[in-house]
A and B are shown apart, each in its own frame.
Chain A
Amino acid sequence: MIRHELQALTGKVREKQQQYKHRICVCCGASCISSGSEEVLNKLNEEIKARGLEETVEVIPTGCMGPCNQGPLVKYLPENTIYQKVDCENLQRVVQSQLIDKKPLEDLLLFADSREKPFVDAAEDPFFKRQQKIALKDCGDINPDSIEDYLAVGGYQALDKAIFLMSPEEVISEVKQSRIRGRGGAGYPTGLKWETVYKYVSDQKYVICNGDEGDPGAFMDRSVLEGNPHRVLESMAIAGYAIGASKGYAYIRGEYPLAIKRFEQAIKQAGKLGLLGKNILGSNFSFDVEVRIGAGAFVCGEETALIASIEGKRGTPKPRPPFPAESGLWGKPTLINNVETFAAIAPIILNGGEWYSETGTAKSAGTKVFALAGKINYSGLIEVPMGTSLREIVFDIGGGIQHGAEFKAAQTGGPSGGCIPAEHLDVKMDYESLMSLGSIMGSGGLIVMDKSSDMVDVARYFMEFCMDESCGKCIPCRVGTKMMHDLIQKIGERKATRIDLDRLEELAVYVKETSLCGLGASAPNPLLSTLRHFREEYESKIQQEG
């Protein structure tokens, strides 16, 4: 397919969609599927056929809509009415009410069981009203299995724009101007990274998409890959064009079979239409993407370990420098970005870097996707501007703590991050503010804890995770995490003395400063931050003499 054919096809797809008066989206993200949304989808298709509505009503499976614990979710467009906990029994009532009687079915509306007055237009609900979707835009509105659906919402227009209207330098400059920072956790300026890889001269360069999301309680990347795989694919191709790479790898963890399936399908579809492969859209630019499946090692999310894993080696990190930008995959300059970072690239190219940088704070531009989990009323996936306060996220969007319990702390950044106690609820969620509290942004997992949580046990849990996931290459992480875990456990069992606590603190700083890679260097963070904010819980558990 060449350039003008893309425009023609997009037009045709849009025309076809306009034939329908209604679009019913059934959330088929992993969490809604696990609560039975695929049966709902089948039943809904039968129901629409039985009522003879298939000419005017389109039923599609979509990716994640957000309020995951209310699933299975069914959304009616253009009304934007979401129904929760839809099953094969109550489905008929919803169809009858929404499509035939033309009025919403109040008792099944989203949050009908927890809000006094649920909203007919979901966008009015505080859960959605305070969100701003860039990376997740279209996720939940389009069918991830269909490239036509993606084209209809302007898919591959950014790639077209980049290849035909911009030079690689201009693409990089646009990304730099957006001030977007790596969404994998470390927050390195993405534009700078692209520029660095661009500057290295090499016969071969690579683009890698890091989809090895492994933090407990985090599912942002999974939802993006499941809900809008083409967006990530398109952005990878844009990156390839910008840095001069002809090959990309998407490294997706093996625990995400649906994400892998949909992404591989997206690669095939894009290849068929000439949006991937040789001479994309008739240009001189060629780019191919392959999927590599992670085998369950958390450490493979670390970029040098991930690269080793793609090379077919044992997934262990290497000291940096040299950074992958200079010597990465098979020793070639390699650009490696997180799924969520890529998800923001296509809109940045389409709308300009300045547009993106207008959202967020001075040092952290744009939006961030968070996965709300734990003792929160509405757990699920949200996207908010950087700088939104934790209070807004937990109470306004997340609906507060379950059973009206008292908020105790929120863990950000998973096992590499730290906890934020109640007195810092007004902290702005951006890279610097979280760092100053001893936590990190991380990939975006946000686990909310109430007063029933024992912070020593929280620290022990995350340390156990790091201990099990340490690759074993360097001694501080290999043995240090085990020693720290055993010491925290001893404190939890009220068998530890003050000497143990002192030793634990010394070890924590040692492991943080001497470990080879980010996993080890951040492994003590949950411990250090619980010590910082909830020291009295440790003190109360240690034996006074000795």
Chain B
Amino acid sequence: MNKITVIINEKKFEVDPHKTILEVCRENEVEILTMCHLKGIVDIGACRLCLVEIEGMNKLIPACTTKVAANMVIRTDTEKLKKYQRITTELFYAERNHVCAVCVSNGKCELQNLGYKVGVDNIRYPHLFPQCEVDTSHPWYVMDHNRCIMCTRCVRVCNEVEGAHNWDVMNRGHQVRIISDFNTPWGESTTCTSCGKCLHACPTGAIWPKAIVQGQLEKNPVMITELIERRKMKL
């Protein structure tokens, strides 16, 4: 296949033209932060952490949904991008009620790791402290909306991989919530197959199995990616 040349952070790379900027960067060990991306499922460009600067474009471009083009000059590490990544991370923390000390995913949380990575040592914005439900109606799993960051990885995994479409989104703006079926308790869902994929797709401690204590949650999002790839190979 014909390769094209792109320049990322002043370094030249020969890459496959069908790939996204994110794929190319990850393959070449250029760091791009993401939250809503999960390899294998459809990208939506919602978390805005993967924004990059491209020469000749007057807007910041999401790396996950944009394909590389010949001679594209990409920057992933400018001061502006770093500043925006930090604001985004702080807004994630301020939006819901994230209390790491009592969270099942403490120590293994993608949001926590993101905070370390961008150097969040305090949140400069007032916490919104919304009233959030904890849905424990499912016999095995818990959905804790306090810890949800609306990445919708659970929604997409359930729809695209499991084919159940138990999860979806309701409301608008900062009042959006992940819902099960038409906003019924998870335990009463008629579509959920209890497969547990959403649990592994979730980057935080929002979805977790019951009978797990603080910091004991083991998530394996790579498993989902591998599952998708194995299915593709079978086809």
Q: Taking beta carbons and an 8 Å cutoff, which residues of A are in contact with B?
A: 297, 299, 314, 318-319, 321, 467-476, 478-483, 486, 503, 506-507, 510, 513-516
Contact = CB atoms under 8 A, between A and B. Distances in A.
Interface in B114-152: 124-126, 128, 149-150
A473 B87 contact: no
Given A319-B66, A479-B95, A483-B91, A470 B172 contact: yes
A297 B48 contact: no
Nearest to A514: B48
B72 interface: no
Contact of B173 (A321, A468, A514, A515): A468
A473 B48 CA distance: 10
Contact of B124 (A470, A480, A503): A503
Nearest to B92: A475
Q: How large is the interface on B (under 10, 10 to 19, 20 to 34, 35 or more residues)?
A: 20 to 34
Given A472-B172, A507-B87, A479 B94 contact: yes
B88 A514 contact: yes
Contacts of A299: 172
Given A319-B62, A474-B46, A486-B126, A514 B174 contact: no
B168 interface: yes
Contacts of A319: 44-45, 62, 65-66
A471 B44 CA distance: 14
Contacts of B44: 318-319, 473
14 contacts: A319-B66, A321-B66, A468-B172, A473-B46, A474-B46, A475-B95, A478-B176, A479-B92, A503-B124, A514-B51, A514-B60, A514-B88, A515-B48, A516-B48
B169 interface: yes
Contacts of A471: 172-173, 176
Question: Which of A318, A480, A514 has most chain B Cβ within 10 Å?
Answer: A514
Given A474-B45, A475-B46, A516-B46, 13 more contacts: A299-B172, A318-B45, A319-B66, A467-B173, A471-B172, A472-B175, A475-B47, A475-B150, A480-B91, A481-B174, A483-B91, A510-B87, A514-B88
A478 B48 contact: no
B46 A314 contact: no
A38 B94 CA distance: 53
A306 to B, nearest CB: 15
A78 to B, nearest CB: 51
A14 to B, nearest CB: 50
B125 A483 contact: yes
Contacts of B126: 483, 486
A451 B145 CA distance: 46
B22 to A, nearest CB: 12
Contacts of B87: 506-507, 510
Contacts of A470: 172-174
Question: Which of A468, A469, A476 has most chain B Cβ within 10 Å?
Answer: A476
Nearest to A486: B126
B182 interface: no
Nearest to B80: A513
Nearest to A515: B48
B171 interface: yes
Contacts of B59: 513
Nearest to B51: A514
Q: Which 7 A-B pairs have the closest CB atoms?
A: A472-B176, A319-B45, A470-B173, A479-B91, A319-B65, A482-B174, A514-B48
A510 B95 CA distance: 16
A321 B150 CA distance: 23
Nearest to A490: B126
Given A474-B45, A475-B88, A482 B176 contact: no
B61 to A, nearest CB: 8
A326 B88 CA distance: 31
Nearest to B94: A479
